[in-house]
Amino acid sequence: MAIHPHGLHTLTPVQLERLATVSAIAHSLAMVSCLALFLGAIGLMRRLASREAAGKTDRLAIAALVTFGFAAVALLIATAVSGFIVPAIVRQMIADKAVNAPQWNIVIDAVFQFNQAFARIYSVAASVSIVLWSASALRNAGLTRFIALYGCIVPSVLICLIFVGHIRLDVHGMGLVVLVHAIWFVVVGAQLYQHPDPTGSIAPTPVLQPE
């Protein structure tokens, strides 16, 4: 998101080519990151699902993985539209006659709305998956309590702000979504790395009982 381009409407052909290259790089990184996150999500699901008592599988952890897979598909579509389709349309608009610019702007705005729809689907679905994983961790002690509480509260607030329209998923709004998710994923990934053995998963702090 730090290198995500913006401002496609007032560009020279040379500036557009440079911006299109940056856009392709930024959105390709987003796609690769999404695949890496999904791979890590499988490991997280296995860790949390195995924590259920009496040998049962934790359905919250499985539901979270399915929801995140749904979000990943939406993200791949949104990044493909924003990173490759929109720059291609703008190239054609610049190459066309100036009198046809209003029609091209309508097309670009329509494609942007298409992108925004999938960006919202990703933002909400990925936030829901984090809430489900965190709820599973609170119940089964698969993660530290702090990051589990963070994952239950902050993404829930994010979902509410998206629904009421206080967060628009432009470059800055999407950057906020990515930051909130990244904090959770990075901390959880560090905890999984420090405790690779499922039998050594992070346990809750013991409470001393009076004799």
Q: In angstroms, what CA-CA distances link 38 with 31, 34, 43, 75, 196?
A: 11, 6, 9, 12, 17
Residue for token pair 């990925």: 126
* Residues above pLDDT 90, as percent of the chain: 30
- For residue 28, which phi and psi values (nearest 5 degrees)? -65, -40
Kindly report, residue by residue over 50-87, the tens digit of the pLDDT: 765 545 667 888 999 999 999 999 999 988 888 888 87
pLDDT digits (tens, 9 = 90+) for 90-105: 778 777 777 777 887 8
Q: 129, 68 in Cβ contact below 8 A?
A: yes
Gyration radius of the chain's alpha carbons? 21
Residue-level pLDDT at 2: 63
pTM of the model: 0.79
pLDDT of 162 higher than 70 = yes
Per-residue pLDDT band at 188 (split at 50, 70, 90): very high
For 106-129, what is the mean pLDDT? 90
Angle at which helix 101-140 crosses helix 59-80, to 10 degrees, equals 160
Question: Quick one: pLDDT at residue 149?
Answer: 94
| Confidence label for 208 from pLDDT (cuts 50, 70 and 90) | very low
Q: What is the mean pLDDT of residues 140-167?
A: 90
Mean of the pLDDT values across residues 134-155?
Answer: 90
pLDDT the model gives residue 91: 77
**Of the listed ranges 8-12, 73-77, 137-141, 180-184, the one predicted with least confidence:** 8-12
pLDDT at 123: 94
